[in-house]
Amino acid sequence: MTIENISANKSFGGWHKQYSHQSKTLNCNMQFAIYLPPQVSNGEKVPVLYWLSGLTCTDENFMQKAGAQRIASMLGVAIVAPDTSPRGEDVTNDEAYDLGQGAGFYVNATQAPWNRHYQMYDYVVNELPELVESLFPVTSKRSISGHSMGGHGALTIGMLNPERYCSISAFSPICNPINSPWGEKAFTTYLGKDKTTWQNHDASELMRRATNFVPTKVDQGGADNFLVEQLKPEALEAAAKVNDYPLELTLHEGYDHSYYFISSFIEQHIRFHAVHLTK
């Protein structure tokens, strides 16, 4: 695999770097960011936290706004942030912000014309980690986290692949997308009208029937404009109670859906992952 370095910025003794590469899974050029903590300069290999961003975002939002590098530097954790969808002139798109480029929903599309490029599940689970682990000084120990649409992606990908991830976390995730306007729109478009095929991409459905558990942490803002209609954390909480899933879900009064919320609690999340990544 060949990749091109786009930018490099030193941060808390480590390096934040952006790369582009041609993705065979997505049939387009993709961009991702990686933060390598200072421990790698001493010849150490470090575990990786994969971060999945939300609607309209790219790899840049989290890396520039969350303030994650300081604590990742202290704890010796690399962070990898992919883009949220395939992009390019020949990639199918939609005028709406919640569909198409910037809104891949971390699923493998089965419906034409979306299925030619929109295979974000396979990209996040397989292609990107294989690339990262072959080219950077990291171990095969992984955790996964995300925000909003990316929180949905982190929860579902983590639960569908419990052998691949040491821990899962999410900020303001879409917890029950089969009953959410965002999820219904995206799943109808990418997966088709048969709603039985949607259940494998719904965190509440997966948590309710899980048999292999991954420690999971979710934080939700109480003043989030999307809380009631789109996010539905109560569905996830109810699902966890069905089989005693190890879910830590906290509602924070006054916080909204923004990166002000994420930056307020990102240290807790990275510390949570570091505990499980170093076991």
Catalytic residues: 148, 224, 257
In this structure, the number of other CB atoms found within 10 A of the CB of residue 18 comes to: 19
Q: What is the residue type of 102? A: G
